[in-house]
Structure 1
Amino acid sequence: MSEPDGPGGPGGLGRPGASESTTPSLRRDLGLAEVVVYGVGLILGAGIYAILGEATAVAGESVPLAFLAAAVVASFTGLSYAELASRFPRGEGDYVYVRETFGKRPAEVVAFLRVFVGSVSAAAVALAFAGYLSSFVDLSPVLAAVALVAVASAVNFWGIDVSAKLNLVFTAAEVGGLALVIWLGLGSWGSVAVLDAPFGPGGVLEATFLVFFAYLGFGSIVNVAEETEDPTRTVPRAIVLSVGITTVLYVLVAVSAVGVADWRALGESASPLALVAEAGGGPAAASIVGAIALTSTANTVLILLVSSSRLVYGVSKSEYRSFPTLFSRIHVRRGTPYLAVALVGGLTVPFVLLGDLGQVAALANGSLLVVFVAVNAALLKLRFDRPENREGFTAPLTVGRLSVTALCGLVTALGLLVVYLGRFL
């Protein structure tokens, strides 16, 4: 196993039982399969299980188009992340990319926004978890969501290897649940009026903005770079594979959902996929999908907290000092950034208390779009400032030094940001 890449990386690999004098560091336990599963699990739980109902309420049977449009937008920015992650394989991710091109202060703004997005997103998915849980037990949604955040924070503290193993099991369950929904809806695909948007193109555009929340996971894959073997090659490949796999699943599930269930009922449901399963396969199928949705959303909360705490850890290092250095401390026995874990968990709870999934998801989206604008701009500038540094992964569609995909990512992120400002301000 190699030492962390990039400037100023902490030397050596932390092991349980290391002494304080050896300055323990994060352990490289993740290969390509684990990172892809990590990304797929994060994206799926944050999206189709959590936000399908909100998006269907404004797009109707055109909601598959919203998922497809959001995938295109996400792919542009995802390719920028992949190239930048190949150049700077650091767990600080966006912070390093922006710092390398625009300087420390803009990078600190991006780091703050990313931690904010991680906390808000975890809160949104925790509320979705509570919505599915309500179909099984009569419990306060906010209380259930707070309890989930507490348990996920404890697992996050225990170790990345435990988180990765749980993620593998939960992601397999997530994909199984989606496969069941797709199978139940196969016979209804021909009846879906995909072009019949009840609120016109504006409704589809608004749904695209909401559904963009479903793809936020690819930006967090870079935050486990320092716990990944050969991150220069592994992280870019994991980003591309994760976005591709989830896009196929999203579109097929969206078509099945509006084919099996009335889009108005979906828009009002706190557990939309369970509703689809009940309409297509009866109460037993609804219970199965509802149970799987619980594991999916719980898994997503866990890995959102993992990625956000690793970002806090990274930018708190003595080489950066953008956040207080105490958050860069690594637990000697567990090999995890325990104070960063506690901070992110604590920041998530207030957003859970808002209790409104749509509002919380919109907060995450607006902030994330600002980050995506900065990341795409960073790659565009880097291509011109350092044209000789083109080793590793390179985003396709290059004209001279210009990255066409990064330019498209910048423009589309700005466009969705305008939609956000027009809707909420």
Structure 2
Amino acid sequence: MAELKQELGLFGATVYGVGLILGAGIYAIIGEAAGIAGESVVLSFALAAVIATLTGLSYAELASLYPRGEGDYIYVRAAFGNKRLSELTALLRVLVGVVSAAAVALAFAGYLSSFLPGLPTVVVAIGLVVATAAVNYWGIETSARLNVLFTAVEVVGLLVIVAIGMQTWGTVDTLDAPRGSVGTVQAAFLVFFAYIGFGSLVNIAEETRDATTRIPQAILLSIGITTVLYIAVALSAVGVVDSQTLGASASPLALVAERGWGSTAGSLLAVIALFSTTNTVLILQISTSRMLYGVSKAEYHSFPRVFSRIHPDRRTPHYAVVLVGVVTVGFSLLGDVGVVAGLANLVLLVVFVLINGALLALRYREPERERGFRAPGNVGRLSLTAVGGVLTSLGFVAFSLAQLVGVL
């Protein structure tokens, strides 16, 4: 039986992770977060980074234990021995992947309409999904090359913002929180979703050389790189434009660029946002199709085996690629999946609780199993970072639910 082609090294996997995390979120979400937290949005990014790192460390160790494309599914199954729970985990991850890809595709259409008014949003979004699915089908090598290019463009855009606002950093009062600490935490919950892509890095383990060490390294490097970028961008954004004006803008970073270097720079950032959204849709489809491929393997008897088949020439899971593309198109037809995407993100936090719980369980169930990486901060077999991951993920879930029912 054909196997996935191992094309990625540490550099390729790290760039893939940076592309997943940067995504499209920072280009839009920073405005809303600044409107809530004021200049303390810088602390919101730092808090979100700490929480992401706690769960990221659990993913890193689990990926070194089981370097498989099915990722979350096999971690939960090995830890709890419950096939239904592991299948539910996989379904939730696939759902999050396709809904998020659809939402970002619609965002791409919105950005494009600022240059070409009158374009049908849904048609443009579907066109992007089809194009990125074709790249996904063609092969991981082509996908990785495009990801490197598009991620480089995304990073350049963020570095432009940093350059524009660097001289204003000394004027930023990071303790300025109009809504107090609740607002800072609320914004941290919002910007947390600008970090969550790291969990999907594990789905390319079978296409990465020496995955037991490279995937954990890539997870931690990608979180570290994006955290530095995010905090620098947040400092620059609130230094150049007041937080309330940022909060009212649909394209906050383009506004920062325009204020700093004129309308041409603003247009440049809007173009970069197109690259960012395209890259996000591509890598979400890659990671989601690999999850579907992994869980469909004959050894698990979970999902239909047809989705575990590998194209003999392209060496990609072509049936899984097609299904993920079709379902993503289906969600794109909704035209506005903002609420659904928000719920999907909430579901992902539940998955994070399971992932941290899986590490805690496997420390006791399989203490002698070889690990390419071990999360730091331990008391005997107990992982303190995994405990922190469980508590912070549950805390964010509770905080979100409390907001939904109007408690806060």
TM-score, normalised with respect to structure 2: 0.95
Q: Does 1:44 align with 2:22?
A: yes
Partner SS, residue 239 of structure 2: helix
Deviations, residues 245-289 of structure 1 (Å, cap 9, x unaligned)? 000000110111111123223223232211111111111111211
Q: Does 1:284 align with 2:283?
A: no
Deviations, residues 317-342 of structure 1 (Å, cap 9, x unaligned)? 11112111111122222211112112
Q: 1:394 to 1:161 in 2, by over 3 A?
A: same
Following the alignment from structure 2 to structure 1, what is the Cα–Cα distance between the partners of residues 402 and 18?
Answer: 31
Name the structure 2 match of 1:16: none
Shift of 1:49: 1.9
Name the structure 1 match of 2:101: 122
Query: Percent same amino acid among aligned pairs?
Result: 62
Name the structure 2 match of 1:306: 286
Q: 1:342 to 1:269 in 2, by over 3 A?
A: farther
Q: Does the CA-based 8 Å contact 1:120-1:348 persist in structure 2?
A: yes
Q: Does 1:327 align with 2:307?
A: yes
Shift of 1:303: 0.3
Q: Does 1:345 align with 2:335?
A: no
Moved more, 254-263 or 154-163: 254-263
Q: Does the CA-based 8 Å contact 1:50-1:297 persist in structure 2?
A: no
Q: Does the CA-based 8 Å contact 1:46-1:213 persist in structure 2?
A: no
Name the structure 1 match of 2:396: 416
Deviations, residues 334-371 of structure 1 (Å, cap 9, x unaligned)? 21111211221222234334444753442232011011
Deviations, residues 216-243 of structure 1 (Å, cap 9, x unaligned)? 1110000000001110111000001000
Match for 1:42: what amino acid? L
Name the structure 2 match of 1:24: 2
Q: 1:134 to 1:191 in 2, by over 3 A?
A: farther
Following the alignment from structure 1 to structure 2, what is the Cα–Cα distance between the partners of residues 72 and 122?
Answer: 25
Q: 1:35 to 1:320 in 2, by over 3 A?
A: same
Select which of 232, 235, 258 maps to 2:212.
Answer: 232
Shift of 1:198: 2.1
Q: Does the CA-based 8 Å contact 2:15-2:147 persist in structure 1?
A: yes
TM-score, normalised with respect to structure 1: 0.91
Q: Does 1:221 align with 2:198?
A: no
Unpaired segments ≥5 residues, structure 1: 1-22
Shift of 1:123: 2.2
Partner SS, residue 214 of structure 1: coil
Select which of 127, 133, 158 maps to 2:112.
Answer: 133
Name the structure 2 match of 1:105: 84
Q: 1:64 to 1:142 in 2, by over 3 A?
A: farther
Q: Does the CA-based 8 Å contact 2:331-2:337 persist in structure 1?
A: no
Match for 2:158: what amino acid? L
Shift of 1:153: 1.0
Q: 1:131 to 1:193 in 2, by over 3 A?
A: farther
Name the structure 2 match of 1:77: 55
Q: Does 1:204 align with 2:187?
A: no
Partner SS, residue 392 of structure 1: coil
Shift of 1:390: 4.8
Q: 1:368 to 1:58 in 2, by over 3 A?
A: same
Name the structure 1 match of 2:229: 249
CA RMSD of aligned residues (A): 1.6
Q: 1:33 to 1:390 in 2, by over 3 A?
A: same
Q: Does the CA-based 8 Å contact 2:169-2:236 persist in structure 1?
A: yes
Moved more, 261-270 or 72-81: 261-270
Q: Does the CA-based 8 Å contact 2:23-2:279 persist in structure 1?
A: yes
Aligned length: 403
Name the structure 2 match of 1:18: none
Following the alignment from structure 2 to structure 1, what is the Cα–Cα distance between the partners of residues 186 and 7?
Answer: 40
Following the alignment from structure 1 to structure 2, what is the Cα–Cα distance between the partners of residues 358 and 40?
Answer: 23
Q: Does the CA-based 8 Å contact 1:131-1:270 persist in structure 2?
A: no
Q: Does the CA-based 8 Å contact 2:133-2:321 persist in structure 1?
A: yes
Q: Does 1:193 align with 2:191?
A: no
Partner SS, residue 50 of structure 2: helix
Match for 1:306: what amino acid? I
Match for 1:28: what amino acid? Q
Q: Does 1:293 align with 2:285?
A: no
Q: Does 1:33 align with 2:11?
A: yes
Unpaired segments ≥5 residues, structure 2: none
Q: Does the CA-based 8 Å contact 2:61-2:371 persist in structure 1?
A: no
Q: 1:28 to 1:349 in 2, by over 3 A?
A: same
Match for 2:346: what amino acid? G
Following the alignment from structure 1 to structure 2, what is the Cα–Cα distance between the partners of residues 362 and 411?
Answer: 20
Moved more, 347-356 or 274-283: 347-356
